[in-house]
Amino acid sequence: MIPKLSTLLLSGVLAWAAGTTPTIDESLAMKSVAGAQISPDGRYVAYIVNQTNWDDDEFVQQIWIALPATGERYQLTGGKKNSNAPQWSPDSRRLAFLSDRDGKRQIYLIAPAGGEAQQLTTEDNGVSAMSWSPDGGSIVFTSTGPDAKAKKDRKERYGDFEIIGGDYTMNHLWRVKVPSEMPADLKQLPKPEAFTKGADFNVSSFACSPDGKRIAFSATRDPDLGSQDTEQLYVLDLADLHVRKLLNGSGPNSRPRWSPDSQQIAYTTYNGASNFFYANRYIAAIAAEGGAPRLLTEAFDEDANLVDWGPDGIYFGALQKTAEHVYRIDPRTKEIRRISGPADLHLAEATFTRDHRTLAAVGAAPNRFAEVVVSSTSDFSPKTLTDMGAQWKQFHLTTREVVEWKSSDGAAIQGILIKPPDYDPARKYPLLVVIHGGPTGVDTPIPSADRYYPIERFAAKGALLLKVNYRGSAGYGAKFRALNVRNLGLGDYQDVISGVDYLISKGLADKDRVAAMGWSEGGYISAFITTYSDRFKAVSVGAGISDWLTYYVNTDIHPFTRQYLQATPWEDPEIYRKTSPITYVNNARTPTLIQQGDQDKRVPPPDSYELYQALKDRGVPVKLIFYKGFGHPINKPKQQRAVMEHNYEWFSKYIWGEEVATAAGASQ
């Protein structure tokens, strides 16, 4: 008999029996859901549907409404621009959301039954985040405000330039009053009031106290990504707009959430750890008036993602290997209870009714597409409100399962093995390894639409695919996340190749047809594979690091390298040499495709140029493709189509020996 939970989450059941393989375009056109927000009274769930607009080359988000009582659902917003970040008014009568429909990202209001949305703000530089006041009479939001006159005058006189580490525009808190009836004339809109000002800090997150008297917020000294360790908590008194710093010492300390009685503030912290890129993130609580904080989740060995503080405790979400769950902790006893289940469920982005008796979230069981669900928090039994899986019923799709093996140092490594729809256990298959980014990303057995790599097409062509949760991946505890400290590339490679050898030993994979691909940190590991190993027949490096020194001096996130390598290149050039793929380039033999956005600030294009030229000089087959105008992610559908077609061509040639012509490669 099928368990109740599985029955409820099978509304998107995959069609195994018959059908075709989705094309690259069909995969790119698939819709998905995110951001479920249940109304305080529990009558509605607002959620986001991600969809593709081919005409404008955009992935567009629109807001939908589901009624838990009846199962009815309908689209609330429309148009060619994004509408997202829905937030319910305290009385559940109106929904505020952000949209760039008129250029900048502004706040809009709409009734849950539909109708014309009314614009509430006209911020020169848009709105980054918002929250209703407890009485529903206003909305607090963050924005940089209008450009300073001095900066405008400078540009007019001297043209545009940037002083690195000096030209900061700070994000601040603002409040705009919400009229009981919205006027149609934008000139009559209320003028926002600035709550914080100046150049002393940059607001990152905030929460209004339930009694409406204060706002807790976190802020860094400036918006530079290298300043994350300066993030601290502050309290703003709305009576006189006095700002008081609540904590001192090292950060990041962020994401404040008030207790129901407005006397305490929960927040996330790394508890003073200087290596916060891979250390555990905890939940702590502090009195609103200040004092010594209490660490609450020190016994929980994973990142605790603070969600809310309800009448029965503090709610948080966390990964547990390849699953994700919602938990509740009693702040007095520190007792933690898992709310969601079973163990292999993936439940994310939970929100709650006013009384916290009901939650809404995006959830999925293994081999099921993510759907919006609602459930009681006391007796978890989710009801599915969407049917995203229906789009896939015409297709013959892959299946996913969690596999585990030992790396060379004995570390237990898990991965997701993806099998073709007509998998034959008597066959040996080509093996394509797909490596996630991060390194604190994680792969799960939850299917989703293909993006950079055409997984369904590769499987239909006759391949197994392995997604490796290599050392450093989230979900496996702090010790596992630190296993690649001063061991990047080297330890990662051992985790990958031991997984390859495991599947070969089981008689599943063809040892002579193994390939690897990945983006960002996955691109770095793929670059390491290209130069370090002769075991692979083809590699695709997506926005990957080839030289840690080149990366360190060009990236926009310098602390990342210092934390993982525990030094700057000037202090310890040997660790930078040892962990850089370029160091081993004289060993390279593997045909390598390199892909990247030409405006990437996270992993600088010089890393791709360096690897390309070194491989070219060595006579290794190599192709470098830059996607014009893109940064670290390639986030538009037409260019993702190109990325996937280029990968499909590359691996078809070097794994299957086929010259596959696609439109993306027409000019070659």
pLDDT value of position 393: 94
Q: Which of 594, 580, 437 is nearest to 518 (CA)?
A: 437
* Residue indicated by tokens 């760039």: 100
> What do you get for the CA distance between the two ends of the chain, in Å?
55
* Topology agreement, domain 195-329 and domain 396-659: no
| Residue pair 127/141 in contact by the 8 Å Cβ criterion | yes
Question: Which amino acid is present at 665?
Answer: G
- Both tokens assigned to 60: 């567009």
Please give the Cα distance from 387 to 368 (Å, whole number).
11
pLDDT value of position 253: 96
Q: Which of 489, 497, 492 is nearest to 534 (CA)?
A: 497
Residues contacting 571, CB < 8 A, separation 6+: none
Q: How many angstroms from the chain centroid is the CA of residue 307?
A: 16
Q: Which of 514, 520, 521 is nearest to 539 (CA)?
A: 514
pLDDT value of position 16: 42
Domain boundaries, the chain: 195-329, 396-659
Query: Is CATH 3.20.20.70 the classification given to domain 396-659?
Result: no
Tens digit of pLDDT for each residue in 585-605? 999 999 999 999 999 999 999
Helices and strands of the chain, counted as H and E runs: 12, 36
Tell me if the pTM is above 0.75: yes
Secondary structure of 448-460 as H, E, C letters:
CCCCCCCHHHHHH
pLDDT value of position 665: 66
pLDDT value of position 12: 39
pLDDT value of position 188: 75
pLDDT value of position 238: 97
pLDDT value of position 183: 56
- Both tokens assigned to 383: 């009801």
Q: Is 381 left (phi over 0), alpha (psi -120 to 50) or beta?
A: beta
3-state secondary structure of 289: coil
Burial class of residue 475 in the structure, from the number of CB atoms within 10 Å of its CB (0-12 exposed, 13-18 middle, 19+ buried) = buried
3.10.129.10, 2.102.10.10, 2.120.10.30, 2.60.40.10: CATH of 195-329: 2.120.10.30
Please give the Cα distance from 89 to 133 (Å, whole number).
8
Dihedral angle sign, alpha carbons of residues 421, 425, 427, 433: positive
Please give the Cα distance from 343 to 546 (Å, whole number).
38
- Both tokens assigned to 126: 């848009």
Please give the Cα distance from 408 to 411 (Å, whole number).
7
Q: What are phi and psi of 612, to 5 degrees?
A: -60, -50
* Residue indicated by tokens 């939001």: 141
Q: Is 212 left (phi over 0), alpha (psi -120 to 50) or beta?
A: left
The DSSP bridge partners found for residue 83 are 99
Please give the Cα distance from 23 to 558 (Å, whole number).
39
* Residue indicated by tokens 């293909």: 450
Please give the Cα distance from 38 to 92 (Å, whole number).
9
> Which regions in the chain score pLDDT beneath 70?
1-18, 182-187, 663, 665-668
DSSP secondary structure of 606-634: HHHHHHHHHHHHTT--EEEEEETT--SS-
